[in-house]
Chains A and B, each alone.
Chain A
């Protein structure tokens, strides 16, 4: 669990903002919103995986449920 995931998310955010400005310049705004949405979904998936792992380990440590 090193910090590579944080850098991945940061890269994702920066790339989406660049693509957005690019698409806005060539006045394709609807594609820009789609790109933002898909990037958000990707980021959310990775973070959800981490949260699921955290909850599993907490459940095993504290014998919850």
Chain B
């Protein structure tokens, strides 16, 4: 079960960053970054299983693959921006975090345009 690994790595990172906070505060940032990366890597393997299952589902349903690729890109961007934004809030730079989230929203909106157009086209065909 990956959840135990995730909890273990997270607690370990917090404890070590607490240990280093007193005399070397800049290392707490490094330790937090490292533990965040490790948690994401652990979760990534289970995420690929979900994505493969969805890919086969989309394939069977006959939907075109380009739409699903767009949705996948959006999830990836959300995944990355959330990680970067939470790292920035950890280090006290809340303004940078909101900027990163704004950038993520804009790119996701940009990615979503073809999907919306595809939706409108299918609806127009139905009518």
* A residues apposed to B, CB below 8 Å: 1, 3, 5-7, 9-10, 12-14, 16-17, 20, 36, 39-40, 43-44, 46-47, 50-51, 53-55, 57-59, 61-64
Contacts and interface: CB of A to CB of B under 8 A. Distances in A.
Contacts of B38: 1, 3, 5-6, 50
Given A3-B12, A5-B38, A57-B41, 11 more contacts: A1-B38, A6-B34, A10-B20, A40-B26, A44-B30, A47-B33, A50-B33, A50-B37, A54-B40, A54-B44, A62-B79
> Majority SS of interface residues in chain A?
helix
Interface residues of B, number: 33
Interface stretch (B56-64, B67-75, B93-101, B116-124): B67-75
Given A9-B16, A10-B20, A43-B30, A61 B37 contact: no
